[in-house]
Structure 1
């Protein structure tokens, strides 16, 4: 698959964007001595407006998580630009990056490993506030408000992560991401480690928080059905390139790129006959590709 499709030209960035990614390229060292570097992102263009959710979907190894990590400054950028609210962040110093954490936060995939098991929930949520100079009295008040916002009991602050279920731990992770009242949150597969019922609860919570606060999300997932539920716009990434992008409803109902159609056909459905028909359609697409 070498062709790319842009249903509404939404990967292009505009002056209205809160986050603007232009011609982003990231490469990693090859395996072995003198092995050439491997380019994992090949000229990514992406824009996110204030209060908007842009879904980034692709299979494992497509480069979707690397985009989020580049925005967060966790991987080096080979070339291109990342701009947040008009400021270049790909070249920002470590000190400036720490300051930017007030506006750009992340929710990681695994609620079991993203929390320190030796710290109480209150300590975990207070830490970013204290680091930004909030006094301890105000921090305690804001922690109580955060726990209420993510629908956890007030005594959660004095408990340890092991006392909570996976869904509750992910709500703690969401509260931690919201502690500094960010304007953008990178959601890196935030529900993939949860059962379906808990997934729905967490997704609804993220939507409610967005409606209340106006926060923008970059929602990274391998599941196109989840991305469709969450997103205003969707970008499909394959082998380090965005192959199709557009309005979430339009793209998921009438995808134009073969890879996007394959992703849609890969989603399980509770219908044996329908699932068999999807397998046949996937096989036909594979032969055509």
Structure 2
């Protein structure tokens, strides 16, 4: 079976050349008690990402946005629906196929420190996926130097441990590791939310530069509409496990149609105190309820 056998999305123009296709995805987790009903986290989610495109997936905490990324990575079981990559259904792929897919699909997690092995040097961390996929030692060392240069870290960083770096530098290491196998899609799960504002901008600029040079597609999972506006070509807004609005980033962030998206925008902080007060007053009638 291929992606052609799966129901199309509402936007055929996007679906026609999509690199990643998610169709009617449903994910549920067991309840806490033996007889407790299962909790449905995703309720029929569909989305597409084209080659070289950034899709911003935005929603509040608990909306299910991170679960979508984990499902694409094969880290949570899919109850129903499908996930296809480059025309191949992969949601039920076995271990060997998942390992092969890691060349094409990588991830950058929110916390750069916990996502790095504290006992491995940066050089060993970056070389590990290369060696696992059959790269020779000399070629791996050359690739590590290239990766460090690509994320603007000094060559001697290869001999240092993660704890010797700042949060922003560790996130650069995590990005370098994601780039090691030259993937076609990177899932960025809140990649800058743990960083200060100045470092956030530097990391986002780096991700944009990488995308321009390599053509890598991003699934950008975030709660921050300002990050979505800065990074994304298109936006999908998720609320309580359902996509409630999709469209071009400029259209969705400037003139959202759904009440939940409008409430998200009102809840985002602004630098001007008076403007923030007015926005909070406007927010009261629809405080992230999704109601019109």
Measured against the shorter chain, the TM-score band is over 0.9
Check 1:42–1:13 CA distance in 2 against 1; reply closer, same or farther (3 A cut): farther
Residue of structure 2 equivalent to 1:94: 95
Structure 1: runs of 5 or more not aligned: 1-7
Q: Give the secondary structure class of the aligned counterpart of 1:44.
A: strand
CA apart distance, 1:284: 2.4
Number of residue equivalences: 282
Contact 2:14 2:50 in 1 (8 A): no
Contact 1:82 1:88 in 2 (8 A): yes
CA apart distance, 1:11: 9.1
Q: What is the TM-score with the length of structure 2 in the denominator? A: 0.94
Residue of structure 1 equivalent to 2:226: 225
* 1:110 aligned onto 2:88: no
* 1:192 aligned onto 2:159: no
CA apart distance, 1:271: 1.4
Contact 1:11 1:47 in 2 (8 A): no
Residue of structure 2 equivalent to 1:155: 156
Residue correspondence of structure 1 range 1-289 to structure 2 within 5 A: 9-10=10-11, 14-286=15-287, 289=292
CA RMSD across the alignment: 1.4
Q: Give the secondary structure class of the aligned counterpart of 1:46.
A: strand
CA apart distance, 1:33: 1.7
CA apart distance, 1:41: 0.2
- Cα distance between partner residues in 1 of 2:113 and 2:84: 32
CA apart distance, 1:13: 5.6
Residue-by-residue CA offset, 1:9-53 (whole Å, 9 max, x unaligned): 559862300000000000000111211101100000100000000
Q: What is the TM-score with the length of structure 1 in the denominator? A: 0.95
Residue of structure 1 equivalent to 2:5: none
Residue-by-residue CA offset, 1:57-116 (whole Å, 9 max, x unaligned): 000000000000000000000000100001111011111001100000000000121111
Structure 2: runs of 5 or more not aligned: 1-8
Q: Give the secondary structure class of the aligned counterpart of 1:54.
A: strand
Q: Which structure's relative contact order is higher, taking Cα pairs within 8 Å and 6+ residues apart?
A: 1
